[in-house]
Amino acid sequence: MPVHAYASSKAGVVSLTLNLAGEWGRAGVRVNCVSPGSTLVPRVAERIRSGRYAADPAEFTALGRIVQPREVAESIEFLASDRASAITGVNLVVDAGWHVAGTWAQYGGVRAAPSPAQAAGGAA
């Protein structure tokens, strides 16, 4: 799937965010952006159900699931709130760990973490 235009425009948004945050910060304006990963909107859910994807997108995330639309909305709400009053120039990635897990595909994918008992040295 060619993503040249998408990737270039996303990089442009991130760069614009950084530049505007620097330019407008002293005026009290905070500028941030959100980069959602694969989000379980109805169209994506239908493509998963119908098998139109070669693999379940959740398999390529560190958390083993797809982002819910409310999680993207809540991230935006947080950045716009007073709780984020010291945050500017940030690209908040909301992708259930796709960026960190994607590189694991060449090594067989993300592995399940051990259970607490296994991690403590007990029986599984």
Distance from C-alpha of 94 to C-alpha of 35, rounded to nearest angstrom: 6
- Cα 102 from Cα 62, distance rounded (Å): 8
Provide the Cα torsion 80, 72, 11, 109; round to 10°: 140
Which amino acid is it at 105?
Answer: A
Annotation says 53 is catalytic: no
User: One of 1, 4, 6, 101 is an active-site residue; which one?
Assistant: 6
Query: Which residues make beta-bridge pairs with 44?
Result: none
CA distance 91 to 50: 33
Catalytic residues: 6
